[in-house]
């Protein structure tokens, strides 16, 4: 009678051991995770086995109001669903999600991410193509005229990465960014489909988290940066400049405003490709972004802040809307001076239609 009892106990022990291994597999053996029935435990097992538990994760901002009610930082006046004093998670604001401003949104350094809009516009039409670029510097004044098409293609790639988190203790993050935009005469077979203009724009930016209120807007960002922009071409079509740019960011639910005044670093007039560029491209800009029903609208206004014949500027309007997954439709309208560096003192209207992978700020 003892032998069957011993056998039954041994069998029970084997089943119990197998069950325990299924629920608590070796964290380094990813195959053991497949036996776990609980979705949450199975995901935790995969994370443990692949080392993902050690990755930094951006958390959602919370704030607790007096009296125990919990309000979302980006949605003031919206109480938490649960009773008591427990915190509630709300989505990060647009500036937080792009610049990791709050302590709980920090993701560490050297994570490459999007910066300015990333898009491809197969159709980019101009009302007045710049066939003969000119500049006050005689060495940068084109003598001949090109037969350019008014319809071309345009695309832009823009990335940034944080290279130093906490420059001044817990304050200040140093970012580097790179933006490249190209205008391609892809339909111009007469000229062998050349790239009409490609602008290169590396920059470094020191950004700070702020928290103050002005007329219902929250001041969330303050920064200063160095910006270089050039088209990498030889004479007479070379164009370039260097700037120090301040960044001041405000937001409220569904809206973001960036104010960017800048100062051009002077160059010797004899080697300056475009000595009057500030009177056309401007000395600052205001960017307004609105998110609504999955769509994003962006408006950028630039001005020279000078009177009389030195007063110039531009307007850029962008609209993106969902198509499928992360792919979005994108349309852009530009009116004024400086759509590109070669056109810094050329006035025209441009309309582009295409797709976007990353929208405004």
Binding residues for Ca(2+): 192, 233, 238, 273
Among 91, 115, 118, residue whose Cα is nearest residue 105: 91
Residue corresponding to tokens 């427990």: 86
Q: How far apart are CA 290 and CA 360, in angstroms?
A: 9
Distance of CA 214 to the CA centre of its chain: 25
Structure tokens given for 24: 């608590």
Residue corresponding to tokens 């011993």: 6
Taken in order 349, 355, 356, 360, the sign of the CA dihedral is: positive
Provide, for the chain, the percentages of residues in helix, strand and coil under a 3-state DSSP scheme, each rounded to the nearest 5.
20, 45, 35
Assess whether 230 carries a catalytic annotation: yes
b or e along 66-92 (b: 16 or more beta carbons within 10 Å of the residue's beta carbon)? Answer: eeeebbbbbeeeeebeeeeeeebebeb
CB 274 within 8 Å of CB 345: yes
Q: Is 193 exposed, middle or buried (0-12, 13-18, 19+ CB in 10 A)?
A: middle
Preceding peptide of 236 cis, ω within 30°: yes
Q: What is the CA radius of gyration of the chain?
A: 28
Taken in order 178, 183, 186, 188, the sign of the CA dihedral is: negative
Which residues neighbour 44 within 8 Å (Cβ) at sequence distance 6 or greater? Answer: none
Q: How far apart are CA 304 and CA 336, in angstroms?
A: 12
Catalytic residue among 134, 182, 230, 290: 230
Structure tokens given for 279: 């009177």
Catalytic residue among 75, 228, 268, 346: 228
Q: Is 312 helix (H, G, I), strand (E, B) or coil?
A: coil
Positions annotated as catalytic residues are 228, 230
């Amino acid at each position: 009678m003892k032998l069957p009892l011993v056998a039954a106990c041994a069998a029970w022990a084997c089943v119990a051991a197998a069950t325990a291994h299924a629920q608590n597999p070796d964290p380094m053996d990813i195959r053991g995770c497949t036996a776990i029935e609980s979705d949450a435990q199975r995901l935790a097992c995969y994370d443990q086995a692949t080392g993902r538990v050690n990755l930094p994760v951006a958390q959602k901002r919370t704030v607790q109001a007096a009296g125990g009610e919990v309000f979302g930082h980006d949605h003031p006046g919206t109480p938490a669903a649960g009773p008591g004093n427990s915190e509630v998670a709300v989505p990060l604001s647009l500036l937080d999600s792009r610049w990791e401003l709050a302590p709980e949104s920090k993701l560490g350094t050297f994570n490459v991410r999007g910066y300015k809009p990333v898009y491809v516009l197969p159709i980019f039409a101009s009302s007045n193509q710049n066939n003969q670029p000119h500049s006050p510097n005689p060495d940068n004044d084109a003598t001949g005229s090109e037969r350019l098409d008014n319809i071309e293609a345009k695309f832009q790639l823009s990335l940034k990465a944080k290279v130093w988190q906490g420059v001044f203790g817990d304050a200040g993050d140093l970012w580097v960014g790179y933006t490249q935009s190209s205008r391609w005469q892809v339909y111009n077979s007469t000229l062998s489909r050349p790239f009409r203009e490609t602008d290169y724009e590396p920059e470094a930016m020191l950004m700070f988290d702020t928290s103050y209120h002005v007329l219902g807007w929250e001041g969330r960002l303050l920064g200063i940066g160095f910006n270089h922009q050039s088209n990498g071409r030889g004479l007479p079509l070379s164009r370039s400049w260097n700037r120090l740019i301040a960044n001041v960011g405000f937001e409220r639910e569904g809206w973001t405003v960036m104010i960017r005044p800048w100062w051009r670093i002077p160059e010797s007039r004899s080697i300056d490709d475009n000595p009057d560029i500030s009177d056309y491209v401007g000395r600052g800009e205001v960017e307004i972004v609105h998110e609504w029903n999955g769509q994003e609208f962006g408006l950028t206004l630039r001005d020279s802040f000078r009177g009389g014949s030195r007063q110039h500027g531009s307007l850029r309007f962008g609209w993106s809307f969902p198509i499928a997954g992360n792919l979005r439709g994108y349309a852009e309208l530009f009116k004024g001076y400086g759509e590109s560096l070669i056109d810094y003192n050329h006035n025209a209207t441009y309309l582009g239609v295409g797709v976007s992978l990353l929208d405004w700020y």
